[in-house]
Amino acid sequence: MLLITSSVCNAFAFTLLPTAHKVFSVTSTDVLSIIPPSWDRRRRRTSSVIMMGQRGKRIKKEIKKEKKEEVPPRINTPYGPIRNSRPLTPCDTCLGRGIVRCNVCDGRAVTKATGHRKRNTLNVNRVVGSRWTSVEIREGWRQFECTELSGSRKKKNFEVRMSNTCGPEEHRVHLWIPEDEIRDKRAWRMGWVTLEEIRMANRGPLIDSKVCFRCKGERVLSCIECDGKGKTGYHQQLYGKDQ
């Protein structure tokens, strides 16, 4: 499409028309009607220059080769129909296997039940009334509740009193635990564990592991890049006749 500004239109009109000084303004459509047809032929000839020379021969060969190849199947997606514009290649992420290692458990199928923090958190303002579970059986009990504080952190004699919640008050077990021991994950856990985890321990220390929530213990996941197919391709969106 030929674009001509208003200044070029007026200059061209005054050049071709001897009485153009009597015209107040000339539109672009009037000027295009005056342009000789040789200009249009010259413009068409320049548009085919890209198909000439070595580059043009290579493009023509590619076009012939594409015409001989079979048309890839049409794929319907929620965003419209698409079609592979190039042959499928092995996926770079999964190396053509369609599965990848789980990024949560790193292929171990289990994760830490106590989380990734090295030590338990202990808030002095909220520790009273909190629930804790002992890794080892203490006085025949595992589940305790913090009922009292003693000492201070500045003097390094801070302790918490752990009491079991079952049975009458006069028969309950009370244990004074120092801060370093209550923050050790190998001795105590935050909150109460389930009965299933206690049964799995079989009256021994609790096992610090649980099934990975991402891979469900399968160690691998379906590749997101290739949708589990192992191959990827370049897609083109189809419009009009291509559909």
* Cα→Cα distances 99→104, 114, 214, Å: 15, 28, 14
pLDDT confidence bin for 20, thresholds 50/70/90: very low
How many C-beta atoms surround the C-beta of residue 233 within 10 A? 16
User: C-alpha dihedral over 54, 59, 65, 71, to 10 degrees?
Assistant: 170
The model's pLDDT over 165-221, given as tens digits with 9 standing for 90+, comes to: 888 888 899 999 999 999 999 999 999 998 888 888 888 889 888 899 999 999 999
The whole-model pTM stands at 0.51
Q: What is the pLDDT of residue 1?
A: 40
pLDDT confidence bin for 133, thresholds 50/70/90: very high
Q: Alpha-carbon distance 205 to 109, whole Å?
A: 21
Burial class, 91, CB count within 10 angstroms (exposed 0-12 / middle 13-18 / buried 19+):
buried
